[in-house]
Amino acid sequence: MKKVFLIEKSPDTFNTIRSCLEENQVFYSQFKSLDEALKSGEVPSLIVLFVNKNSGDINKEAEALKNNPSFSRIPRIFILPFDMIGIIPHNEIISGQSLFQVPVDKLKFLSTVSKFLKRSPRRVFRIVISVQPEESNLRYSGISIDFSETGVAFESSSDLPVRQKISLSFVNPKNRKRLLFKGEIARKASTQPGGTAFYGIELKEMSDKNKKDFINFLTGEE
């Protein structure tokens, strides 16, 4: 099981990061210091380290990770205070890994975590979506639950059959751009009679532009 080590020195920021990880079902262990984590007897798949406003402390901790054989190749994310970014060159903190500034961009943080843990990007996000069955002029609305590289989960009071080919559209709130994709209703789970149903759409016939637009939406790039 892949696990993240959270080494926290800022309770407010830690609560935000912890909420992100729990929402996306990422397992983690919490430590008060890097030394405590190094002595835990476990080796994580990723380290998230909250640092103080002291460049000497950052370099010291980066060096401790570099010199520990079990931790030297573990991907890591440094989270710096909002007024510290740019004080230290990125490559002096850690080469080839990631650096975030408080307040942390949750979507980009989760995308980085997914990359390091080799998980498919996933975005838990509730927005209005529109579903139009193939060869029909009718459009049905629903509320998204989450998005992944392969599809979209949503809930709706509309009755849509499994294997129905559809067009899916929604507006990216970040740039107000409407996105349109082809797909198929892959699964359906009904609640009580007359209530909403939960659906899973499998995306189909994705062009290169479709794939780029969707990944950018998932990762918050645009």
pLDDT tens per residue across span 187-202: 998 766 667 899 999 9
Query: Any long-range contacts for 183-190 (C-beta under 8 Å, 24+ apart)?
Result: 183/151, 183/152, 185/160, 185/161, 186/151, 186/162, 187/162, 188/160, 188/161, 188/162
Cα–Cα distance for residue pair 180/122, rounded to 1 Å:
18
CATH fold for the domain made of 3-119: Rossmann fold (3.40.50)
Cα–Cα distance for residue pair 69/60, rounded to 1 Å:
16
pLDDT tens per residue across span 7-28: 876 666 678 888 888 877 889 9
CATH fold for the domain made of 123-219: Thrombin, subunit H (2.40.10)
In the chain, domain spans: 3-119, 123-219
Mind listing the pLDDT tens digit of every residue in the chain (222 residues)? 688 999 876 666 678 888 888 877 889 999 988 899 999 989 999 999 887 766 556 778 888 888 899 998 899 998 888 776 555 444 444 445 788 888 888 878 888 888 888 877 778 788 999 999 998 999 999 999 888 888 999 999 998 999 999 999 999 888 889 999 999 999 998 766 667 899 999 999 899 999 999 988 887 776
